[in-house]
């Protein structure tokens, strides 16, 4: 039996961590494998071996390891260089993703609307559904996840 896949674009920001938490919760609840992707953007082609690019990749690897450790066992990790939308679309296609999860920010003071230009870019780059994770206002409860995991086992 083939399991589905959730690809999640992460960053070390609270928005990226919220996306990772939601993607992990969805993966647990739906029995999907989780692939965390950190995209190092702003590295011009041909300069990936420069000192600055290597430092940025090392920082991305540290952040990705920390996020994966916080989520627990089972998350796969990938680091990509380039444009965020193109890199996430590429990983989603390579992994056969059923879903892409990304973070967002509130739009405006006191607004309940979310802002994510990356979601619009991904919509143009891939046919895979994109879920925009709202910013976390409280910790996701382990109780709900445990109930979902228990239900999946039965």
Distance between CA atoms of residues 32 and 105, nearest Å: 26
Three-state DSSP class for 55?
helix
Residue given tokens 């999907």 in the structure block: 32
58-98 per-position pLDDT tens digit: 999 999 999 999 998 889 999 999 899 999 999 999 999 99
Rg (CA), the chain: 16
Map residue 130 onto helix, strand or coil.
strand
pLDDT tens-digit readout, 112-139: 666 678 888 999 999 999 999 887 665 5
pLDDT score recorded for residue 150: 55
Going by C-alpha positions, the residue among 128, 62, 76, 134 that lies closest to residue 98 is 128
> What is the percent of the chain with per-residue pLDDT over 70, rounded to a whole number?
79
Domains of the chain, earliest start first? 5-153 (3.40.50.620)
Per-residue pLDDT at 144 exceeds 60: no
């Amino acid at each position: 039996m083939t399991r589905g896949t959730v690809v999640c674009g992460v960053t070390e920001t609270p928005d990226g961590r919220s996306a990772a938490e939601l993607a992990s919760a969805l993966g647990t609840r739906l029995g999907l494998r989780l692939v965390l992707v950190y995209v190092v953007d702003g590295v011009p082609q041909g300069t990936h071996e420069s000192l600055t690019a290597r430092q940025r990749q090392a920082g991305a690897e540290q952040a990705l390891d920390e996020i994966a450790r916080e989520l627990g066992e089972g998350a796969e990790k990938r680091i990509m260089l380039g444009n965020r939308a193109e890199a996430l679309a590429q990983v989603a296609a390579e992994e056969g993703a059923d879903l892409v999860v990304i973070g967002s920010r509130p739009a405006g003071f006191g607004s309940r609307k979310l802002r994510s230009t990356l979601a619009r870019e991904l919509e143009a780059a891939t046919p895979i559904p994109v879920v925009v994770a709202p910013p976390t206002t409280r910790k996701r409860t382990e109780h709900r996840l445990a109930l979902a995991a228990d239900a999946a086992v039965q």
